[in-house]
Each structure stands twice: as C-alpha cells, then as structure tokens.
Chain A
Amino acid sequence: MAKHATPMLDQLETGPWPSFVTDIKRQAEFRKKNQEKMNYQIPVDVCEDLLGILELSFKHGRTHWKHGGIVGVFGYGGGVIGRYCDQPEQFPGVAHFHTMRVAQPAGKFYTSSYLRELCDLWDFRGSGITNMHGSTGDIIFLGTTTPQLEEIFFELTHRINQDLGGSGSNLRTPSDCVGQARCEFACYDTQALCHDLTNEYQDELHRPAFPYKFKFKFDGCPNCCVASIARSDMSFIGTWRDDIRVDQKAVAAYIGGELKANAGAHSGRDWGKFDIQKEVIALCPTGCMRYEGGKLEINNRECTRCMHCINVMPRALRIGLERGLSILVGAKAPILDGAQMGTLLVPFISAEPPYSEIKETVIEPVWDWWMEEGKNRERLGELIKRQGFGKLLEVTGFKPDPRMVKEPRSNPYIFWKEEEVEGGWERDINEFRKHHQR
C-alpha cells in the first residue's frame, strides 16, 4: 500500500513511453523492502513523499518547492542546488530535497561498474532518484538532506575519484558531442578539448567569480549535436578549410541506388529514387556544386560547410583534412533582454593540445573583459550587445572580418575614435566663425 494516493500520477503509468511514475514507485518499493538491510541515511519513504507532493502539484497546478535554498560543501561556492518543500509536515521525506550535480565524463560514455558505484552511494545517502542527465550535462543526484552533502562529497572524491559539477555565477560543467569517438564528421577531438578545459578551469567552475553563469560546449561539426551554438556562452564548432573529399565511385553508388541517401534516415517513407540534382545540388545553400558527365564537382572556395551534402552522402563525401574549429560567443536564453545564438568571433583556430591559442587568445581575454565590465547577472551576450561587438574585438585583438557579420549595418550612426579622425575633436568656434558668419 502506497503512502499517498496518486490518482492523477497513476494515469501516467500507461502508454508506450517509459513512465517516470512507475519508475519512482519501483524505487519506493525497493527502499521499503530494503532486502539488503541498508541503513538508509535519508528517510526511507523519500520517493513516496516525492510522488505525494507531485500529486499535490498536479492537483493545484502549482509547484510545492520553497524559493531557493543555499547549501553546499566547504571549499566550493556551487555544485549543490538546495531545495525544501513547502509542506514539510505532510511530506517529511522531502522536507530537504537537494540536488547534487556530479561532473560527467566527456561524451557520456560509462562502464556499468562505475555507474554501480554511483548508484550504491546514492542508494545509501540519497533518494535513489537521478536525472541522466541535466541539460548542461551533469549527472544529477536528485534529493538528499543537508547533513549528507559533505558525506557524499567525501565519498565521491575519496572513493570514486569524482568531483562535483558547477552551479551559480561561474563556469558551468562543459559538455560535448560524441565527436571522433563515434562520428566520421568530427573535425576535432571534442572529448579531449572538453576534458582539458574542464580541468584547466576547475577553480572558475567551483568558486563563482563571474558576473553571471558561463557555459562551454563542444560540437565536432556544424550539425551541432550538443547545440553549442544555442546553449553555451562560448561555443566551439569543428570545421575544415580545405576541400571536401569526394569518392566519385561512391557518388555513383548513391545515384545507382546501391547506397541509401542520408544513411537511410528517411527509410520510413517512400520518397522515390535518390535524385542528386534535387536532393543535393539544388539544395546547396551556395549553389557551389554540380554534377555533370558522371562527376560531382564542388567549388570548395564557395562552400560554407553547412554539412548537407556530407550528411546526405556520408560514404561519398568526407570532411577536409585541414581541420580546426570556429568559436561563437554570447548564446543565452531570453532573460533578460532576449534570446541569443552564438555570434561568430573566431572563424578558424587550431584545436590541437595543449590548446594554448584557444585559452590565451580567446577564453581568457573574453573573461578578463566580461569579469571587469559585466554588470551583475549580465551574460556575455548581453555585454556584447551593451558595449558593442567592436569592443569585443578590441579586447581580444581580433581584426574585424566580414565573416563576423551577416550583413553590414544599415543605419549610419557610426562611432569614430578621435584618433581616427584628422585633426582630432578639439576645435575653436571662433576659427569656424572666421569663415562662417552667424
């Protein structure tokens, strides 16, 4: 018999998609039975009370978590999201229900033995409920009490050799796409760069020193599988600057129907026979391709590397060999002055370890500027809007480049620096009047 009746949540136990309700009930049952006679460190009925309070929210159409919550571990300024329910008498199991963010390995590859270690720890000292994973990338331990935070952190670091992730006005946990580990499109080792920068900037991640949050994300190519361009203040997107490699025999195999377009991504519907003119040549955003006399030609100088042709014919077309990445900055959600996607700052930069050029010419100059000039709770993207893209160029030392704009300005409200103008701005009205009477 469950502790609380959950008639509304029960309705989410049917249908084909995995039910989180059934899963939480399973965990509740597991704790109640406690076959291994565990000495649970937070209330045994935490999962039942979680369902109980969620049912109440379903009834009220309102959340039942109190505002905020400031908890953590000594030495760090973030990593734990405190949370207290607003009906602690009715649901004592979730009176404290803090979240711990645990730093995930780049690429989110795991072994079962490692995950089991985490599960055993969380079973003992937490609710047994997780998010795999938070939107930023962390493993999320969902629900424990304040006295357990240091205990969990001690076991994580001493026993599992594992740190917390980030929260607050700091560098948040970086994350990446699957990259070269399992993708032929990857233009650099996203896991290596993600891991290197995460370790390089551990201090910035654990101890908030920024005006607001800051995120890194690493995409191996412009397909953006980790959505860096939309979801990170500094977005690293792989690219190449030589020619797309073409295997003409494989092109012929696509045209002949031996190979499936887009690796078979559209096989659930009859789209007709593959038509290279219609599906590739005519769709190319720059019109830089042609297919004549059984040969596919690409005018690579005009290619903007959108990935479409490569995506459609992965066995015939491959990324170039001179590889690196582009850096885009400023993406953020709407609060406060509107959503932004990343804006191109560095068209091409090398992505080879130890990544000194990326750190010294991009990340650190941008942080120096934003940490000094950024207002309280102002994202990098908003500072760029407030002080201008020109200012960003000034502080990083990059030269203005037409690649940095979608189009030149249409208003003529152009600022000049005094030193750019012959004779400067100090002028004498009497000199002027000598030639122009009042």
Chain B
Amino acid sequence: MAFVSSGYNPKEPMKDRITDIGPKHFEEFYPPVIKNNKGKWLYHEILEPGVLVHVSETGDEVYTVRAGGCRLMSIEHIREICEIADKHCNGYLRFTTRNNIEFMVDSKSKVKPLVDDLMSRKQPGGCYKFPVGGTGAGITNIVHTQGWIHCHTPATDASGPVKATMDVLFDDFRTMRLPAHVRVSLACCLNMCGAVHCSDIAILGYHRKPPLLDHEYLDKMCEVPLAIAACPTAAIKPSKVTLPSGVEVKSVAVNNDRCMFCGNCYTMCPSMPLADTEGDGIVIMAGGKVSNRLSAPKFSKVVVAFLPNEAPRWPQTTAVIKKIVEAYAKGANKYERVGEWAERIGWERFFEKCEIEFTHHLIDDFRDPAYFTWRQTTQFKF
C-alpha cells in the first residue's frame, strides 16, 4: 500500500488548485433520443410494471426500464450497471429521485432483451440484482439514510430494515395493484434526512432514554450554550459537577422529565451519547405525501410509537407495514393515497382497519400546535 501521488503537492497546497467548477453539464449525458426530443414529449404510457414509453411530437419514442437499486452499492455493481448500459443502451443510463436505475432504449424491440437480461442477473443468495418495477400504483424503492453503516446519531440501521421491508413488499414493487402509489421511507434518527415526514409509510429510528453525561470531558468537547440551545423542550441547563477526583468542572444537567430523547444535544455535543440497545427502536408514521394531486401535501403522522430493533430482519416492523398496506389496498378508493384514505374514513377507523393499538404516545403534546390535532367536534365514529 505504497502512497501514490495524484500530482497534488502538499507543500504547495494552493498551487494548481481547481475549485468551483460545479457538476458536469447534464447535456453531456443525455441519450440522443432525449437530447433530440427534450421539451417535445407528448404523452407517456406504462407498458408493464417497470417499463415506460414516452412519445414525442417528432414521433420519436423512448422506452425506459426501471430497476430497483439498493442505493448503497459497490463500484463492481456500478460497473455491472455500466456493462448493461453499454450492451443495451449505447452506454446511457440515469438514476431516479428514489434511487432506482433507469435504462433507456429508443425502440420497442430492445425492451424485452433488456428486461430479460436484468431479471436474469441474480446474486449468489438468490436476490435479484436488478429487479424491474417501481412504476405506477405500486410500491417503489425506499428512500433511506446511513444507519449503522456510516452515521453517529442513528437509533436504528437503514440498509438492514430497508432490505427486510422490500423483501416483504417485493410483489408490490413488481406489480401495480394498489389504489395509488405508496411511498415508503426510512430515517435512522429524527433529523429525518430524506422523506420520512412526507411519506405514505415511514420508518423512523427513535431513542427512549435521556443522554448519558460524560462530565469529565463535556466542557472540553462541547460548546455548552449550543447544547442547551439544541433542546426543543428546554430540558438542558448548565451545571457545575464535582468529579470523583474532587475537581469541579462545568457541565450540563438534563431534566429527564422534559427530555423526549430527540438526540439533538448529542448532535451538538459528543459528551451526551444516548444510543441504547433496548431503549432504541422504531416509530412508524403514515399518511404523508408531497404531490399536490387532489389534496395538498401532508405530513406523515405517528401511528406506532415503538417497535424494538430486531436485527437482522426487523419482523415486527415489517409486519406492521404489511398490515397497513393490505388494509389500505382493501379499503381505499382508486387514486386515494394512504393519508387521503385515513382522513376520509377517520383516524379512528384507520387504527381499527390496520389493527394497530392506539396509545397515549400518539397524542400530540408539543407546544401550542398540539391543540389543533385534538378533536374539537362531536363528529366521530364508534
């Protein structure tokens, strides 16, 4: 592992430095059929799950085959994607905003060989490498985060629960039998990187124990006022602590009764870790959406306050998600998103139909706006 220089000279770091060039220009990467027809598209159709055609006013057509991607991917996997693009698509491809891979061809005859090739590629354990699907009224890829692969604040993993959930929901990735598309997202803590707050179904990592205080190091490691300001419920105040050695140090005190375990103080202060094997787990949310179709965008709502982390396959979490999907598939009208369905039938019915227990944790108690989530009407269902 001998060091090989790129040409960068550490003795003159600013010499020959190139900065602020931004991303490559998108036109470098457009397939010819896209370049020639940009802005001229007339209509599209979903020919089968995972296969789209777009027709241009010039008469040109582009066929898109969408394949599941697991977002976390090796360069060997990317090289295989490139090989497929070279073989079928003149070397062009794109990724979607939900981390699926799209291969585009300019004639219908090229679709079947591409789909067959993608579906024939499997991993040694039997998993598909490039399952075709993710279109229309089904379930597409899960927008997710880093989890235990790379992040320091998670309360759950990301890649693991996503694999477990997509295995359970796989048939809906490959078909289009639902009333509308169902967006599933995961965030491993409530920083909610990604789309958890606005998804039909969301998996959220959550803690249930207040932070541990590393008093000996806290003032050395942390800007104490920032840790105090990081708390949404003002549970943290400055304090002086006498260490066992008799030395008095500046630190903080946490009022455990006011702490709701968000972990934001740990984000700001390394001496306030809160991860815990039994305490940490998953919150399930439902009913969010971002599109403006029919109803306005909605936030997802908490419907299950806690499920334990059950590595490696999180069976309780995937079981709840499956129950919500099936109840929704059975009960919702055509075009109705999960949130629209829940609001139409009433949340009291949502819990009944999904066989989810309603607990006090689900009643909002965060500041003034909480009031607006309670029921100021006699209209309810028995």
Which residues from A are CB-within-8-Å of B276? 61-62
In the complex the two chains form, is A14's CB within 8 Å of B125's CB? yes
Which residues of B does A touch, CB under 8 Å?
1-8, 10, 13-14, 16-26, 28-31, 34, 38-39, 41-47, 49, 54, 62, 64, 68-79, 81-83, 85-86, 91-97, 99, 101, 104, 123-131, 135-138, 143, 145, 147-154, 157, 159-160, 163-164, 166-167, 170, 173, 175-179, 181, 190-198, 226, 229-230, 232, 262, 264, 266-267, 270, 273, 275-278, 280, 290-295, 297, 299, 309, 311-313, 334-335, 366-367, 369
Chain A stretch 6-24: residues in CB contact (< 8 A) with chain B: 8-9, 11-24
For residue A8, which residue of chain B has the nearest CB? B312
Give bound CA distance, A30 to B74, whole Å: 10
Given the complex of chains A and B, what is the CA–CA distance between A264 and B4 in angstroms? Answer: 54
Given that A17-B68, A108-B95, A191-B26 are known contacts, is A337 also in contact with B137, CB under 8 Å in the complex? no
How close is B193's CB to chain A, nearest CB, in angstroms? Answer: 5
- The answer to whether B13 touches A62, judged by C-beta atoms less than 8 angstroms apart, is no
Instruction: Show 22 residue pairs from A and B whose CB-CB distance is below 8 angstroms, ordered by the A residue.
Output: A9-B160, A16-B170, A22-B124, A61-B309, A67-B266, A97-B150, A103-B24, A108-B95, A115-B81, A130-B75, A132-B73, A143-B150, A150-B13, A202-B19, A203-B20, A223-B292, A224-B292, A263-B43, A285-B294, A315-B42, A335-B191, A338-B366
A416 at the interface (CB under 8 A from B): no
Of B6, B31, B151, which is in contact with the most chain A CB atoms at under 10 Å from its CB? B6
**Chain A residues whose CB sits within 8 angstroms of the CB of B193 once the complex forms:** 135, 333
Option from A181, A227, A339 in Cβ contact (under 8 Å) with B299: A339
Number of interface residues of A (CB under 8 A): 148
Residues in B with CB closer than 8 Å to A109 are 26, 29-31, 34, 92-94
Pick the contact of A17 from B93, B131, B137 — CB < 8 Å?
A: B131
A30: B residues at CB distance < 8 A: 74, 76
The 8 closest A-B pairs by CB, nearest first: A265-B136, A15-B167, A13-B125, A67-B270, A112-B82, A27-B74, A57-B148, A268-B177
Q: How far is the CA of A198 from the CA of B150 in the complex (A)?
A: 27
Q: Is B41 in contact with A23, judged by CB distance below 8 angstroms?
A: no
| Residues of the A chain whose Cβ atoms lie less than 8 Å from the Cβ of B21 | 157, 161-163, 202
How far does the Cβ of B23 sit from chain A's closest Cβ, in whole Å? Answer: 4
Residues in A neighbouring B313, C-beta threshold 8 A: 11-12
Q: Is the interface of B mostly helix, strand, loop or mixed?
A: loop
Contacts of A62 in B (CB 8 A): 148, 275-277, 280
- Give the chain A neighbours of B267 by CB distance below 8 A: 335
Q: State whether B3 touches A184 (Cβ < 8 A).
A: no
Q: Bound complex: CA of A266 vs CA of B194, how far in Å?
A: 27
**Does A403 interact with chain B (Cβ within 8 Å)?**
no
In the complex, the answer to whether B127 meets A26 with C-beta atoms within 8 Å is no
Given contacts A58-B311, A67-B273, contact A105 B25 (CB under 8 A): yes
- CB atoms of B39 and A189 under 8 A apart: yes
> Which residue of B has the minimal Cβ distance to A195?
B26
- Residues of chain A lying within 8 A (CB to CB) of residue B25: 105, 195
A5 close to B (CB within 8 Å): no
Beta-carbon contact of A202 and B70 below 8 Å: no
Residue numbers in B under 8 Å from A20 (CB-CB): 70, 72-73, 159, 163
CB distance from B325 to the nearest CB of A (A): 14
Contact of B127 among A19, A152, A283 (CB under 8 A): A19
Which residue of chain A is the closest to B84 with respect to CB atoms? A112
CA distance A81 to B154 in the complex (A): 15
Residues in chain B near residue A122, CB distance under 8 A? 75
Closest to A43 in B: B1
Interface residue A39 (Cβ < 8 Å from any Cβ of B): yes
Picked from A15, A114, A175, the residue with its CB within 8 Å of the CB of B163 is A15
What chain A residues lie within 8 Å of B73 (beta carbons)?
A: 20, 23, 129-132
Query: Contact partner of B8 among A118, A150, A183, CB < 8 A?
Result: A150
